[in-house]
Amino acid sequence: MEKNNVNANITKVLEQVSTAAKKYQRDPAEITVMAVSKTQTAEAVMTAAAAGMQHFGENYLQEALEKIHKCQEKNLIWHFIGPIQSNKTRAIAENFAWVHSIDRAKILRRLAEQRPVDAEPLNICLQVNISGESTKSGISPTQLSELVALAQELPRLRLRGLMAIPAPSKEFEDQRAACETLAVLFRQAKADSPQMDTLSMGMSADMEAAIAAGSTMLRIGTAIFGQRQR
């Protein structure tokens, strides 16, 4: 992907975010765009950083660690958003500022235990399976309050919010309904944990629906970097 394209894509995404925010009476300042750089090079990350992106999302640990290392000087904020195997939690706890894809108690406990004591608390979002598909990761909505309570009481973690990856749909109203489902769960969880401030939803194809439903953090890959490299 050419540098110019990444720059132009970022400008376009930010314009779309501000247009959608206006349309749904949201303050654009409360919507963060995370650039999802999985499969993209460290050079692409640096191009996006130079164009003003500060938050980067990665799914694959080994690949992410190389990029984090190469981009050390840039003061970027790294988010782990991929499925988490328990043997990977230490490296995640040591190298990321945020983890969005937590769907079970075991992972939560390990991250709390392994977050270095001298680091800021690890920001976490709990991933909810809002589509009810058995193959998708995410905790079921009925088990959510238990995991919220655990996340609150564990040390070295800061529970920030909820995350979901809705089943793909091309229909705006379906996308919006899925996002509203997560927004309702978020408001319920927030009643017990008022510090929660992050609704992590919205990707390249459902950005507007996510903003309409109250997203505060969009995870945008292809609309910024183009097709993935593999």
Ligand X SMILES: *Cc1c(COP(=O)(O)O)cnc(C)c1O
Task: Please report, as residue ranges, which positions from 109 to 128 form the binding site for ligand X (by CB under 6 A).
Answer: none
Stretch that binds ligand X, among 15-23, 47-55, 129-137, 218-226 (CB under 6 A): 218-226
Stretch that binds ligand X, among 8-16, 43-51, 130-138, 201-209 (CB under 6 A): 201-209
Can residue 205 be called a binding residue for ligand X (CB under 6 A)? yes
Chain centre to alpha carbon of residue 94 = 18
Radius of gyration of the chain measured on its C-alpha atoms: 17
Contacts of 169 (CB under 8 A, 6+ apart): 175, 178, 206
What number of other Cβ atoms are within 10 A of residue 65's Cβ?
Answer: 17
Nearer to ligand X, 62 or 72 (CB): 62
Q: What is the dihedral of CA 107, 31, 173, 205, to 10 degrees?
A: -80
Eight-class DSSP state of 168: P
Distance CA 84, CA 102 (A): 7
Which residues face 162 on adjacent strands? 126, 199
**Binding track over 33-72 against ligand X, x by CB under 6 A:** ---x-x--------------------x-------------
Can residue 204 be called a binding residue for ligand X (CB under 6 A)? yes
Could you tell me the smallest distance in angstroms from the CB atom of residue 224 to ligand X?
8
Distance CA 186, CA 193 (A): 10
Nearer to ligand X, 35 or 157 (CB): 35
Can residue 81 be called a binding residue for ligand X (CB under 6 A)? yes
Can residue 210 be called a binding residue for ligand X (CB under 6 A)? no
Can residue 11 be called a binding residue for ligand X (CB under 6 A)? no
Can residue 220 be called a binding residue for ligand X (CB under 6 A)? yes
Distance CA 198, CA 214 (A): 10
Can residue 152 be called a binding residue for ligand X (CB under 6 A)? no
Tokens standing for residue 57? 């999302």
Nearer to ligand X, 83 or 132 (CB): 83
Residues that bind ligand X (CB under 6 A): 36, 38, 59, 81, 165, 203-205, 219-223
